[in-house]
């Protein structure tokens, strides 16, 4: 008794997962919930969330995992349910379909022939014996498989094409499972990170996304050069880094990397992602003496006292901002003119005369500073990507088979008649029946011309 109950319980679970109703419900739930993550920005700055949604909603959303919903437990749970559903549905139906597909030498089936409503028939002044070989060779050209048998009254013929296409839908479902497997392999054994490399510098580790921990690479990578080019309109044209792979102290590979053309080495891919200019360590300033009208260039390292030309005080470069208030690069300078209270100057590279407003003893302006670019690379290792791609190709093939190919069958009965032979033809297809009926009509017309 107990055993039977268990059996019925597993059976109930089995039939729960074997229903297409469940697939439809899961697809609806996936479609509906996926909208949430397109409205709430994903993995954004927590402070921004607090500002947009307030404290209470922030807590609720966080609890429901809505800030990273596509990786939340409940979303993954729905995907898992769909996977099980897909597997169970396929396992349930596959044996029946396999039975049909695996038939080796299908023959004329009188019952099936009689069941087809629409039949074409004509009389031809030729004996069945003569017609048999002629018709066979004609039909095999049209449908690939043909089998005929002699009967008391003449012969019967069965032809078909595309029996295997009944497997199309299982190819689609299998390909989706393969996609999921590829995605899981990628998330378990792969990683995703970034690295910024200044020109001329070699690195052997990257920073992982998410937790920003360091990850050692099996080789070192040097950025030889970075170039950004622009169209006349100011739009970016190309970002290009020249990279060299160094393994065991030896240069193995040197290549240019641009957007859409990553460097791949030993399963790790480097993508051109962004770039920037390193903050300089020194700057050359121009000091114009208002009294004498003479200018002097002074090279000043950061955070070091530099004497003014008249030795009546000193200044110190304290800070660099690459783009201050959209006004371009700027330097902050502490100025201590003897006998005056210290002042903080902000000098803009692009506005050299701005310091005039201060009405000081010297007019400070930025003459030059070393610009060293760094290239920003996205680094990924995804051993599952080829699995995903195979799944994708299989998915396209599967959909094409499922919707655009069908199992077509043609039945023919030839009976001896007073005037020769009476030929009756009927055709069926598991999909797109009307198209095949038209084809059968054409075949019938073709057969009438043969003799």
Partner 1 sequence: MNSSFLLSIITFIYGASSFLYITTWIFKKPIIGKLATIVTYLGFLGHTVGIILRWVESYQMGAGHAPLSNMYESLVFFSWSIILLYLLIEYKYKNKSIGGFAAPLAFFALAYASLSPHIEDRIAPLIPALKSNWLIAHVVTCFIGYAAFAVSFGVAIMYIMKAGDAQGKSRLLSQFPSVKILDRLIYQTITLGFLFLTMGIITGAVWANSAWGSYWSWDPKETWSLITWFVYAILIHSRMVRGWRGKRIAFLSIIGFIAVMFTYFGVNYILSGLHSYAQ
**96 contributes a contact to partner 1 by CB under 8 A:** no
- Number of residues interacting with partner 1: please give it, by CB under 8 A: 48
**426 to each of 159, 166, 385, 444, how far by Cα in Å?**
11, 20, 48, 9
**28 contributes a contact to partner 1 by CB under 8 A:** yes
Distance between CA atoms of residues 62 and 78, nearest Å: 19
Binding span for partner 1 by CB under 8 A among 32-40, 94-102, 293-301, 302-310: 32-40
Residue where the block lists tokens 């004996």: 127
Q: Which of 229, 223, 258 is nearest to 242 (CA)?
A: 223
Cβ atoms of 406 and 376 closer than 8 Å: no
Distance between CA atoms of residues 171 and 93, nearest Å: 13
Give the nearest distance from C-beta 171 to partner 1 in angstroms.
13
Give the nearest distance from C-beta 11 to partner 1 in angstroms.
21
When the beta carbons of 147 and 207 are compared against partner 1, the nearer one is: 207
Give the nearest distance from C-beta 371 to partner 1 in angstroms.
21
**191 contributes a contact to partner 1 by CB under 8 A:** no
**203 contributes a contact to partner 1 by CB under 8 A:** no
Distance between CA atoms of residues 52 and 29, nearest Å: 26
Regarding beta strands 295-301 and 306-307, do their DSSP bridges make them parallel or antiparallel, or are they unpaired? unpaired
Q: What is the 3-state secondary structure (H, E, C) of 93-109?
A: HHHHHHHHHCCCCCCCC
C-alpha dihedral (15, 21, 24, 27), degrees to nearest 10: -40
Identified binder of partner 1 from the candidate list 149, 150, 251, 261, rule CB under 8 A: 261
Identified binder of partner 1 from the candidate list 35, 188, 357, 449, rule CB under 8 A: 35
Helix (H) or strand (E) holding 121: strand 120-124
**188 contributes a contact to partner 1 by CB under 8 A:** no
**Binding letters toward partner 1, positions 41-70, x by CB under 8 A:** -x---------------------------x
E strand segments, 171-312: 191-198, 202-208, 214-230, 236-247, 250-258, 263-265, 268-277, 282-289, 295-301, 306-307
**Binding letters toward partner 1, positions 345-384, x by CB under 8 A:** ---------------------------------xxx----
Residues 6+ apart with CB under 8 A from 336: 313, 314, 315, 342
**Binding letters toward partner 1, positions 269-308, x by CB under 8 A:** x-xxx-----------------------------------
When the beta carbons of 117 and 359 are compared against partner 1, the nearer one is: 117
Identified binder of partner 1 from the candidate list 134, 259, 344, 450, rule CB under 8 A: 259
When the beta carbons of 42 and 133 are compared against partner 1, the nearer one is: 42
Identified binder of partner 1 from the candidate list 1, 235, 325, 449, rule CB under 8 A: 235
Distance between CA atoms of residues 173 and 86, nearest Å: 7
Regarding beta strands 202-208 and 306-307, do their DSSP bridges make them parallel or antiparallel, or are they unpaired? unpaired
Distance between CA atoms of residues 204 and 210, nearest Å: 20
When the beta carbons of 24 and 343 are compared against partner 1, the nearer one is: 24
**Binding letters toward partner 1, positions 422-441, x by CB under 8 A:** ------------x-------
**23 contributes a contact to partner 1 by CB under 8 A:** yes
Identified binder of partner 1 from the candidate list 20, 60, 140, 184, rule CB under 8 A: 20
Which residues lie near partner 1 (CB under 8 A)?
Answer: 20-21, 23-24, 27-28, 30-31, 34-35, 37-39, 42, 70, 169, 183, 192, 231, 233, 235-239, 258-262, 269, 271-273, 378-380, 385, 388-389, 392, 395-396, 399-400, 403-404, 434
């Amino acid at each position: 008794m107990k055993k039977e109950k268990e059996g019925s319980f597993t059976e109930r679970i089995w039939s729960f997962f074997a229903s297409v109703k469940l697939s439809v419900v899961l697809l609806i739930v996936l479609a509906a919930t996926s909208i949430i993550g397109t409205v709430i920005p994903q993995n954004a700055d927590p402070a921004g969330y607090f500002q947009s949604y307030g404290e209470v909603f922030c807590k609720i959303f966080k609890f429901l995992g809505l800030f990273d919903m596509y990786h939340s437990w409940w979303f993954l749970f729905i995907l898992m349910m769909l996977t099980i559903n897909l597997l169970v549905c396929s396992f349930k139906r596959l044996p029946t379909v396999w039975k049909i597909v695996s038939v080796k030498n299908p023959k004329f089936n009188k019952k099936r022939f009689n069941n087809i409503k629409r039949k074409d028939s004509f009389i031809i002044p030729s004996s069945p014996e003569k017609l048999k070989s002629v018709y066979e060779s004609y039909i095999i050209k049209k449908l690939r498989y043909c089998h005929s048998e002699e009967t008391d009254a003449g012969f019967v013929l069965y032809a078909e094409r595309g029996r295997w296409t009944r497997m199309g839908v299982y190819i689609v479902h299998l390909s989706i499972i393969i996609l999921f497997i590829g995605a899981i392999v990628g998330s378990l054994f792969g990683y995703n990170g970034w690295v910024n490399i200044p020109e001329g510098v070699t690195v052997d580790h990257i920073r992982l996304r998410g937790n920003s921990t360091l990850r050692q690479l099996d080789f070192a990578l040097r950025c030889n050069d970075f170039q950004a080019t622009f169209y006349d309109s100011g739009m970016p044209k190309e970002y290009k880094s020249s990279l060299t792979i160094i393994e065991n102290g030896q240069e193995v590979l040197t290549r240019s990397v641009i957007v859409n053309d990553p460097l791949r080495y030993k399963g790790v891919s480097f993508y051109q992602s962004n770039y920037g200019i390193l903050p300089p360590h020194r700057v050359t300033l121009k000091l114009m003496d208002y009294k004498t009208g003479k200018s002097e260039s002074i090279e000043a390292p950061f955070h070091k006292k530099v004497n003014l030309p008249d030795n009546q005080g000193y200044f110190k470069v304290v800070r660099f901002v690459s783009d201050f208030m959209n006004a371009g690069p700027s330097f902050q300078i502490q100025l201590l003119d003897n006998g005056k209270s210290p002042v903080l100057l902000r000098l803009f590279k692009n506005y050299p005369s701005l310091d005039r407003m201060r009405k000081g003893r010297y007019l400070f302006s930025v003459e030059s500073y070393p610009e060293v670019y760094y290239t920003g690379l996205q680094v990924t290792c995804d051993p599952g990507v080829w699995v995903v791609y195979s799944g994708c190709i299989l998915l396209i093939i599967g959909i094409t088979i499922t919707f655009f190919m069908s199992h077509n069958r043609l039945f023919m009965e030839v009976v001896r008649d007073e005037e020769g032979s009476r030929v009756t033809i009927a055709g069926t297809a598991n999909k797109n029946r009307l198209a095949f009926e038209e084809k059968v009509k054409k075949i019938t017309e073709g057969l009438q011309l043969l003799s």
